[in-house]
Chain A
């Protein structure tokens, strides 16, 4: 089954404790992206990757890091989480890195709480 998987689905952590949210897709997609969803703000892009070893900032990259060492994986790293990073996070992938003719496929989401 074609899918995007994320782990963990739920995470409660404390301020400053480094964490990684994994994302993996099995569709051989070149484009991958991370979003955060907050009430009243919709989805905002954190980082994206157009291919292996090619990553760039989205609209809200502060406090986050990513890597793309393999085509299928795109982990999101919070080096020192803060309470304002409490949010619902989605990973997405798409067949084409641009110009965006193809829809994006989303993972099930990771609900992160930072206390």
Chain B
């Protein structure tokens, strides 16, 4: 079955330190992978995606993510965290072999990132 796991409910990091938010997935085919961020009282905003090509993808606000097929992971990273990065982060996967031609995303449960000053 298609699924996405975000094993950490919360990640705490000091401002200026590198951050990692973890995501693993399970799909039948080659996945399309996405990261979204949700700030308080706001909708989800797209950060970055992996469709094909280079395993390291760069996105908005200095975030990047690495696609690792052997480990079925797509961890979100940033070299130096900012207090303003504090938000809820969602990993999502699209399995082209599932759901027919529909643009169906499977979301993880979310990871709350807290960056301390």
Q: Do A and B bind each other?
A: yes
Interface residues of A (CB under 8 A from B): 4, 31, 33, 35, 40-45, 48, 50, 56, 58, 90, 92, 94, 96-109
Q: Are the C-beta atoms of B43 and A43 separated by less than 8 Å?
A: no
CB of B67 closer than 8 Å to a CB of A: no
CB of B22 closer than 8 Å to a CB of A: no
How many residue pairs between the two chains, A and B, have CB atoms under 8 Å in the bound complex? 73
Interface residues of B (CB under 8 A from A): 4, 32, 34, 36, 41-46, 49, 51, 90, 92, 94, 96, 100-105, 107-110
Q: Are the C-beta atoms of A108 and B42 separated by less than 8 Å?
A: yes
Q: Are the C-beta atoms of B90 and A48 separated by less than 8 Å?
A: no
Q: Are the C-beta atoms of B102 and A40 separated by less than 8 Å?
A: no
What DSSP secondary structure best describes chain A's contact surface? strand
Q: Are the C-beta atoms of A100 and B105 separated by less than 8 Å?
A: yes
Having A42-B90, A100-B96, A103-B34, one finds 15 other A-B pairs with CB under 8 Å, namely A4-B43, A42-B107, A42-B108, A43-B107, A58-B104, A96-B103, A98-B103, A99-B32, A100-B102, A102-B103, A103-B46, A106-B44, A106-B45, A107-B43, A108-B41
Q: Are the C-beta atoms of A41 and B109 separated by less than 8 Å?
A: yes
Most buried by A among B51, B96, B107: B107
A-B interface, 6 closest residue pairs, ranked by CB to CB distance from nearest: A106-B43, A98-B101, A100-B94, A103-B46, A43-B107, A100-B103
Closest partner residue, chain B, to A6 (CB atom): B43
- Complex partner residue of B32 from A4, A40, A92, A100, CB under 8 angstroms: A100
